[in-house]
């Protein structure tokens, strides 16, 4: 690890949180092989003078992110395992600096000579598109977490739950916390090829509707003030899906909370909506 990085307390805190999260994702069985990716907006947390960008390898972006120009991001690496990230975060992730014009990025946490074939996550377009929007909205959310929660992915394999309204009605009905912590429910994005600008755009289009976006038959993207906050939102909705399947497996149809009970929770915890 680079010296400046070791002594930066704010950044090392983020890295510690990421390692903790990676362990949770692996333990839950949501992170088979290289599944999932994480990013965090570090802009404003790095004061060290890193002005000589020539030292660091530079890569092009498929489109420009002008709002992110000059910004710093922690991003996990493509093809890396969550369980390895948990043990050794900086070997399985990197810190990038976006160029001032927002069209390139430098990997600043590695020297050119030990870069090998390391590259940021294949879902970088979606991560950067989300960070750009969060910044434009002056959002306190700096973390973006993508994972493959079995229970939620399984629900989107069922035709009737490929309707967002139906999906959220079931998830909110399984336990009261769901509407308290994910008041807008999941924003569902129909299946699109992963790792593309198309899925990034479709995700971005739903960001104003919810902090948790569900990619049909694939996984979730959640935003939060830190990575564990983003994880909690996914975890709560996954618990709902687990309760749903438990009741079904026991041979019963879950009753769910009534519309009145859901509205009562909404009024108490989210009177603004």
Burial 7-41 (b: 16+ CB within 10 A, else e): ebeebeebbebbbebbbbbbebebbeebbbbbbbb
34 binds ligand 2HA (CB under 6 A): yes
Name which of 36 and 89 has its Cβ closer to ligand 2HA. 36
Nearest to 199 by CA among 136, 121, 82, 135: 121
194 binds ligand 2HA (CB under 6 A): yes
H or E, element range at 70: none
**Can 32 be counted among the known catalytic residues?**
no
Name which of 71 and 149 has its Cβ closer to ligand 2HA. 149
- Helices 124-136 and 197-206 sit at what angle, rounded to 10 degrees? 30
122 binds ligand 2HA (CB under 6 A): yes
> Rounded to the nearest 10 degrees, how much is the dihedral formed by the CA atoms of 91, 106, 77, 65?
150
Distance CA 238, CA 227 (A): 17
* Partner in contact with 229, chosen from Zn ion, ligand 2HA, none, beta carbon below 5 to 8 Å by kind: none
Residue from 17, 123, 132, 235 binding ligand 2HA (CB under 6 A)? 123
Name which of 46 and 218 has its Cβ closer to ligand 2HA. 218
Binders of Zn ion among residues 202 to 241 (CB under 5 A) are 219
150 binds ligand 2HA (CB under 6 A): no
125 binds ligand 2HA (CB under 6 A): no
Active-site position among 32, 123, 132, 166: 123
Q: How many CA atoms lie within 13 A of 270 on its CB side?
A: 15
Nearest to 71 by CA among 40, 92, 42: 42
Name which of 41 and 121 has its Cβ closer to Zn ion. 121
Contact (Cβ atoms closer than 8 angstroms) between residue 169 and residue 261: no
CB of 104 to Zn ion, least distance (A): 25
How many chain residues touch Zn ion (CB under 5 A)? 1
Q: Which stretch binds ligand 2HA (CB under 6 A): 35-43, 103-111, 133-141, 151-159?
A: 35-43
Contact (Cβ atoms closer than 8 angstroms) between residue 21 and residue 235: no
* Partner in contact with 121, chosen from ligand 2HA, Zn ion, none, beta carbon below 5 to 8 Å by kind: ligand 2HA
Q: Which two tokens stand for residue 99?
A: 């160029």
* Partner in contact with 37, chosen from Zn ion, ligand 2HA, none, beta carbon below 5 to 8 Å by kind: ligand 2HA
Q: Which stretch binds ligand 2HA (CB under 6 A): 10-18, 59-67, 119-127, 260-268?
A: 119-127
Q: What are phi and psi of 225, to 5 degrees?
A: -70, -35
Active site residues: 123
Site residues (vs ligand 2HA, CB under 6 A): 34-37, 121-123, 146, 194
């Amino acid at each position: 690890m680079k010296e400046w990085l070791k002594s930066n307390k704010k950044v090392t805190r983020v890295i510690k949180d990421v390692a903790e999260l990676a362990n949770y994702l692996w333990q839950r069985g949501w992170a088979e092989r290289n599944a999932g990716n994480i990013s965090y907006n570090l802009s404003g947390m790095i004061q060290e003078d890193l002005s000589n960008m020539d030292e660091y390898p530079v890569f092009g972006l498929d489109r420009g992110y002008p709002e992110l120009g000059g910004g710093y991001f922690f991003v996990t690496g493509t093809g890396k395992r969550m369980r390895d990230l948990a043990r050794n975060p900086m070997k399985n992730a990197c810190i990038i600096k976006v160029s001032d014009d927002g069209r390139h990025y430098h990997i600043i946490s590695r020297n050119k000579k030990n870069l090998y074939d390391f590259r940021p996550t294949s879902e970088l377009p979606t991560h950067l598109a989300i960070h750009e929007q969060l910044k434009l909205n002056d959002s306190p959310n700096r973390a973006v977490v993508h994972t493959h929660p079995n229970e939620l992915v399984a629900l989107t394999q069922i035709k009737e739950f490929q309707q967002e309204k139906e999906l959220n009605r079931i998830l909110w009905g399984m336990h009261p916390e769901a509407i308290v912590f994910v008041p807008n429910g999941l924003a569902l994005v129909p299946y699109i090829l992963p790792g593309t600008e198309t899925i990034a755009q479709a995700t971005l289009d739903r960001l104003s509707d919810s902090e948790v976006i569900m990619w049909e038959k694939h996984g979730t993207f959640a935003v939060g003030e830190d990575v564990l906050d983003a994880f909690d939102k996914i975890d709560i909705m996954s618990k709902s899906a687990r309760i749903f399947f438990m009741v079904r497996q026991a041979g019963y149809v879950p009753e769910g909370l009534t519309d009145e009970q859901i509205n009562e929770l909404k009024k108490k915890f989210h009177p603004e909506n």
